[in-house]
Structure 1
């Protein structure tokens, strides 16, 4: 299943920012980078999300917002973000509903695949990268930033 060229499935999820985040609220003014990752506090995720967080200003300058999503609770997200200095909004998809909508749920393990989707200002998926294994981390923030700038 590919979502390329399709309208991005909309959602509203609880966020570490305190307010729920609705994807369609960015339509018309921001590109959105969705970063699905398996678990807070896991080794690869604890490299990946801080790297995205460290490039947050660059993404902002390119007119994009980065949102991290997985099945952990907002409380776990907040503890992990505090420990690792992650300043991105982390969204709690505790039922994996959004992950299923994007084709990245691993239901038998209760986690999501590691994946990145870029959604343009019109709400259309313009890029998707789904890692072959949850431990893979080949799609780096620099590559994603280049794709955002090219939109």
Structure 2
């Protein structure tokens, strides 16, 4: 399998006062929809269209703490990042085309995410060995955590586990410095949700 196409910023946003703000990140799917004159999937509609009767944890919920392995002998706990925003990226599997594109997009957007002081963590049910190989191949600059055993235990607590298929749903969470979920989004599995929703949520967090 070849490398996924690197998703890039396709334009810049203009603020109401005419000033140029940060680039707009569009996935190939969303780009084609824009070019064809159609509208991309509405975020709220995507949540209601989920196959699961249980939605992801909503904004205002205290984020469940967890500890997952990033390497065979090193674990990372959510509470260790207390005092700074955290972005959780739940995704089905390493090496799948959509997941590869999504994670590369987040990697491209790391400089923008870093402006808010946020830490990005990817989570799937893949093993730590699989994650390490995937990070090296895609040259990712953030950790991928293994929700491997008990399988999907953390994803289940966030409402982000697909029990029918045995993998994590494609879900995004922005957690504020106090450990509260500030924003969440559940995407259809086959659609790369992009990073703009995360950037907007980080921009909306209280400053200072």
TM-score (norm: length of structure 1) = 0.92
CA distance in 1, matches of 2:116, 2:101: 23
Task: Show structure 1 runs of 5+ residues with no match.
Answer: none
Match of 1:148 among 177, 195, 202: 202
CA contact (8 A) 1:16 1:89 kept: no
CA distance in 1, matches of 2:70, 2:127: 9
Change (3 A) 1:17 1:75: closer
Could you say what secondary structure the match of 2:89 adopts?
strand
Deviation at 1:76, TM superposition (A): 0.2
Deviation at 1:17, TM superposition (A): 9.3
TM-superposition CA deviations, 1:2-47 (whole Å, max 9, x none) = 332011000000014962110111112x100000000000000010
Note the aligned Cα RMSD (angstroms): 1.5
Partner of 1:8: 63
Change (3 A) 1:18 1:146: farther
**Range with greater deviation from structure 2 (77-86 or 4-13):** 77-86
CA contact (8 A) 2:101 2:192 kept: no
TM-score (norm: length of structure 2) = 0.68
1:98 to 2:154 alignment: yes
The runs of at least 4 consecutive aligned structure 1 residues that moved more than 6 Å come to: none
CA contact (8 A) 2:116 2:202 kept: yes
CA distance in 2, matches of 1:142, 1:51: 10
CA distance in 2, matches of 1:54, 1:26: 22
Larger Cα-atom Rg: 2
Change (3 A) 1:146 1:17: farther
How many residues end up aligned between the 2 structures? 148
CA distance in 1, matches of 2:71, 2:102: 18
Deviation at 1:126, TM superposition (A): 0.7
Deviation at 1:65, TM superposition (A): 0.6
Alignment of 1:1-151 (within 5 A): 1=55, 2-16=57-71, 19-28=74-83, 30-94=84-148, 95-131=151-187, 133-138=188-193, 140-151=194-205
